[in-house]
Amino acid sequence: MSTQDSEDRTIRCLVAKVGLDGHDRGAHVIARAFRDAGFEVIYSGLHKSPDEIVQAAVQEDVDVLGISILSGAHNTLVPKIVEGLESYDAFEDTLVLVGGIIPDEDRDELYEMGVDGIFGPGSSMAETIEFVRENAPER
Protein backbone atom coordinates (compact mmCIF):
# COMPACT_ATOMS: atom_id res chain seq x y z
CA MET A 1 0.00 0.00 0.00
CA SER A 2 1.23 3.46 -0.69
CA THR A 3 1.78 5.81 2.15
CA GLN A 4 -0.14 8.52 0.36
CA ASP A 5 -3.56 9.62 1.38
CA SER A 6 -5.67 7.17 -0.48
CA GLU A 7 -9.08 7.50 -2.03
CA ASP A 8 -9.61 3.75 -2.05
CA ARG A 9 -11.32 2.56 1.04
CA THR A 10 -11.44 -1.06 2.07
CA ILE A 11 -15.07 -2.05 2.50
CA ARG A 12 -15.71 -3.35 6.00
CA CYS A 13 -18.59 -5.72 6.72
CA LEU A 14 -20.06 -7.25 9.82
CA VAL A 15 -21.67 -10.62 9.14
CA ALA A 16 -24.06 -11.09 12.02
CA LYS A 17 -25.96 -14.03 13.41
CA VAL A 18 -28.65 -12.78 15.72
CA GLY A 19 -31.12 -14.58 17.93
CA LEU A 20 -31.61 -18.24 18.52
CA ASP A 21 -31.00 -19.87 15.20
CA GLY A 22 -27.93 -22.00 15.29
CA HIS A 23 -27.12 -22.52 11.64
CA ASP A 24 -24.27 -20.46 10.38
CA ARG A 25 -23.06 -22.29 7.31
CA GLY A 26 -24.51 -19.57 5.13
CA ALA A 27 -22.89 -16.86 7.22
CA HIS A 28 -19.53 -18.60 6.91
CA VAL A 29 -19.91 -18.91 3.16
CA ILE A 30 -20.77 -15.24 2.73
CA ALA A 31 -17.94 -14.19 5.07
CA ARG A 32 -15.46 -16.07 2.99
CA ALA A 33 -16.89 -14.81 -0.31
CA PHE A 34 -16.66 -11.23 0.99
CA ARG A 35 -13.08 -11.85 2.07
CA ASP A 36 -12.23 -13.16 -1.39
CA ALA A 37 -13.85 -10.06 -2.87
CA GLY A 38 -11.31 -8.00 -0.91
CA PHE A 39 -13.60 -6.87 1.90
CA GLU A 40 -12.70 -6.94 5.56
CA VAL A 41 -15.20 -9.12 7.31
CA ILE A 42 -15.95 -9.30 10.98
CA TYR A 43 -17.99 -12.35 11.91
CA SER A 44 -20.11 -12.01 15.02
CA GLY A 45 -20.45 -15.64 16.00
CA LEU A 46 -23.73 -17.33 16.86
CA HIS A 47 -26.55 -16.32 19.19
CA LYS A 48 -25.89 -12.61 19.45
CA SER A 49 -28.38 -10.14 20.83
CA PRO A 50 -29.32 -7.06 18.81
CA ASP A 51 -27.37 -4.93 21.32
CA GLU A 52 -24.21 -6.91 20.75
CA ILE A 53 -24.55 -6.56 17.00
CA VAL A 54 -25.04 -2.82 17.33
CA GLN A 55 -22.00 -2.52 19.60
CA ALA A 56 -19.87 -4.41 17.10
CA ALA A 57 -21.17 -2.44 14.10
CA VAL A 58 -20.47 0.90 15.80
CA GLN A 59 -17.03 0.04 17.19
CA GLU A 60 -15.86 -1.58 13.99
CA ASP A 61 -17.30 1.27 11.92
CA VAL A 62 -18.52 -1.13 9.26
CA ASP A 63 -19.86 0.03 5.93
CA VAL A 64 -22.09 -2.99 5.61
CA LEU A 65 -24.06 -4.93 8.18
CA GLY A 66 -25.24 -8.29 6.86
CA ILE A 67 -27.73 -9.99 9.15
CA SER A 68 -28.35 -13.67 8.57
CA ILE A 69 -31.61 -15.00 9.96
CA LEU A 70 -33.11 -18.41 9.34
CA SER A 71 -35.37 -18.61 12.35
CA GLY A 72 -38.18 -16.35 11.18
CA ALA A 73 -37.54 -13.83 13.95
CA HIS A 74 -36.55 -11.04 11.57
CA ASN A 75 -39.60 -8.95 12.31
CA THR A 76 -38.64 -8.59 15.95
CA LEU A 77 -34.84 -8.60 15.70
CA VAL A 78 -34.18 -6.33 12.74
CA PRO A 79 -36.08 -3.32 14.13
CA LYS A 80 -34.09 -3.54 17.36
CA ILE A 81 -30.84 -3.44 15.43
CA VAL A 82 -32.03 -0.51 13.32
CA GLU A 83 -33.04 1.42 16.44
CA GLY A 84 -29.71 0.66 18.07
CA LEU A 85 -27.79 1.93 15.08
CA GLU A 86 -29.90 5.08 15.07
CA SER A 87 -29.11 5.72 18.73
CA TYR A 88 -25.40 5.91 17.82
CA ASP A 89 -26.04 7.96 14.66
CA ALA A 90 -24.72 4.99 12.75
CA PHE A 91 -27.80 3.99 10.78
CA GLU A 92 -27.60 6.60 8.03
CA ASP A 93 -24.31 5.48 6.60
CA THR A 94 -24.52 1.75 7.18
CA LEU A 95 -25.75 -0.49 4.38
CA VAL A 96 -28.06 -2.96 6.10
CA LEU A 97 -28.62 -6.30 4.37
CA VAL A 98 -30.70 -9.23 5.48
CA GLY A 99 -30.02 -12.75 4.28
CA GLY A 100 -31.63 -16.07 4.98
CA ILE A 101 -35.22 -17.24 4.98
CA ILE A 102 -37.44 -14.18 4.56
CA PRO A 103 -41.01 -14.82 3.36
CA ASP A 104 -42.15 -12.60 0.48
CA GLU A 105 -44.91 -11.02 2.53
CA ASP A 106 -42.39 -9.73 5.08
CA ARG A 107 -40.08 -8.06 2.64
CA ASP A 108 -41.84 -4.74 2.21
CA GLU A 109 -41.95 -4.24 5.93
CA LEU A 110 -38.20 -4.83 6.22
CA TYR A 111 -37.52 -2.39 3.41
CA GLU A 112 -39.71 0.20 5.15
CA MET A 113 -37.69 -0.30 8.31
CA GLY A 114 -34.62 0.79 6.41
CA VAL A 115 -33.16 -2.49 5.25
CA ASP A 116 -31.31 -1.82 1.99
CA GLY A 117 -31.29 -5.28 0.49
CA ILE A 118 -32.69 -8.75 1.09
CA PHE A 119 -30.94 -11.83 -0.19
CA GLY A 120 -32.81 -15.09 0.03
CA PRO A 121 -31.70 -18.64 -0.68
CA GLY A 122 -31.62 -18.16 -4.45
CA SER A 123 -29.34 -15.14 -4.49
CA SER A 124 -25.99 -15.49 -6.18
CA MET A 125 -22.85 -14.52 -4.37
CA ALA A 126 -21.68 -12.38 -7.27
CA GLU A 127 -24.93 -10.46 -7.20
CA THR A 128 -24.60 -9.82 -3.47
CA ILE A 129 -21.01 -8.64 -3.78
CA GLU A 130 -21.93 -6.38 -6.68
CA PHE A 131 -24.77 -4.91 -4.63
CA VAL A 132 -22.36 -4.13 -1.81
CA ARG A 133 -19.83 -2.55 -4.14
CA GLU A 134 -22.45 -0.33 -5.71
CA ASN A 135 -24.27 0.64 -2.57
CA ALA A 136 -21.64 0.83 0.14
CA PRO A 137 -22.19 4.29 1.57
CA GLU A 138 -20.00 7.22 0.62
CA ARG A 139 -18.41 8.69 3.68
Element (H, E) at 28: helix 25-36
Q: Is 101 in the site for another protein (CB under 8 A)?
A: no
DSSP letter for 42, please.
E
Q: Is 5 in the site for another protein (CB under 8 A)?
A: yes
Determine the Cα–Cα distance for residues 61 and 108; give it in Å rounded to an integer. 27
- In angstroms, the Cα distances linking 132 to 2, 12, 95 are 25, 10, 8
Q: Is 3 in the site for another protein (CB under 8 A)?
A: yes
Can you tell me which of 31, 65, 96, 132 binds another protein, judged by CB under 8 A?
31
Long-range pairs for 27-34: beta carbons < 8 A, 24 or more residues apart? 27/68, 29/125, 30/66, 30/68, 30/99, 30/125, 30/128, 33/125, 33/128, 33/129, 34/129, 34/132
Q: Is 22 in the site for another protein (CB under 8 A)?
A: no
Q: Is 68 in the site for another protein (CB under 8 A)?
A: no
Can you tell me which of 21, 55, 118, 123 binds another protein, judged by CB under 8 A?
55
Measured from the CB of residue 5, what is the shortest distance to another protein in angstroms? Answer: 5
Can you tell me which of 22, 38, 120, 121 binds another protein, judged by CB under 8 A?
38
Q: Is 35 in the site for another protein (CB under 8 A)?
A: yes
Binding positions for another protein, rule: CB under 8 A: 1, 3-10, 12, 31-32, 34-45, 48-49, 51-52, 55-56, 58-61, 88-90, 139
